[in-house]
Amino acid sequence: MLTETTREARILAGGQSLMPMLNLRLARPELLIDINAADQREPAIEGGMLRLPALTRHRVLLEHHLIREHCPLLTEAIRHVGNVRVRNRGTIGGSLAHADPTSEIGCCALATGAQVVARGPAGERTVPASQLFAGYWTTTLDPAEIITDVLIPAARPRPGWSFQEMVRRTSDFAIVAVAVTFNLAERSGDRASATVALAGVADRVVLADPGLVDDDPDQTAARIAGSLDPPDDVHASGAYRRRLARVLVARALREASARAAAR
């Protein structure tokens, strides 16, 4: 249908971002294509990957045992998404396609090295989350492509993780959110490695440069915060967001490494 129409069309998944935009007249597509009945699959583990069908609702992400077991970072982050009603309808594929720069889910997708499976007229392809986001509410996907699955590497041995977020009001959009995954050194001589993703600090969710990460959480956080140039908006100034990034990254690195060490 996306290829057959010349009119502006939008895909309607859970509708918890698109419908408010319609109600506020921020989006005025001529066609809405409701995909809610298109797929009834459940989350599954396949070849070391957590496979989440795009229509997996946030409530399922929050409660599903496979996600709690293999990606507890996501379980924790989803607690910060919307409210009960939003989580009952909102979907992981819709959330990633919406590409909000403050998205908790987008932040986790970056920190876990997730990929999305996109299907279009030319067939199916896999897009790493690190190449998915193009700017404010914009992805790199072709307009005729649709996300069908999200693949998240199942937690490796001895992983640590942390999700930190600052909001004005509980359940509101993040001012800044930070997701960290952390791997202890497997052998002596190896370095521990951390992946740091941030939301609310740019026109999209971003991965921190791995070269800025070392063993000292405070110095790492200061370097990452220093590399950011967050925009000012009505919710917070850029300077405040940079300061939050520094505090939250340090907190997240400490918690993630403590979790990894405790396992």
Decide: helix, strand or coil at residue 39: coil
Q: Is 232 in the site for other proteins (CB under 8 A)?
A: no
Residues 87-116, interacting with other proteins (CB under 8 A): 88-89
230 binds other proteins (CB under 8 A): no
Nearer to other proteins among residue 5 and residue 171 (C-beta) = 171
Q: Cα–Cα distances in Å, from 40 out to 52, 54, 148, 223? A: 11, 10, 12, 44
Q: Exposed/middle/buried for 215, CB within 10 Å: 0-12, 13-18, 19+?
A: exposed
Amino acid present at 249: V
Nearer to other proteins, 82 or 93 (CB): 82
Cβ atoms of 178 and 248 closer than 8 Å: yes
Binding residues for other proteins, total number by CB under 8 A: 21
Q: What's the maximum distance between 2 C-alpha atoms anywhere in the chain?
A: 60
**Nearest approach, Cβ of residue 149 and other proteins (Å):** 23
Candidates 27, 36, 72, 184: give the one binding other proteins (CB under 8 A).
36
Note whether 68 binds other proteins by CB under 8 A: no
Q: How far is CA 258 from the centre of its chain?
A: 23
Binding residues among 151-170 for other proteins as defined by CB under 8 A: 170
> What is the contact surface with other proteins in residues (CB under 8 A)?
12, 15-16, 19-20, 22-24, 32, 34, 36, 59, 82-86, 88-89, 170-171
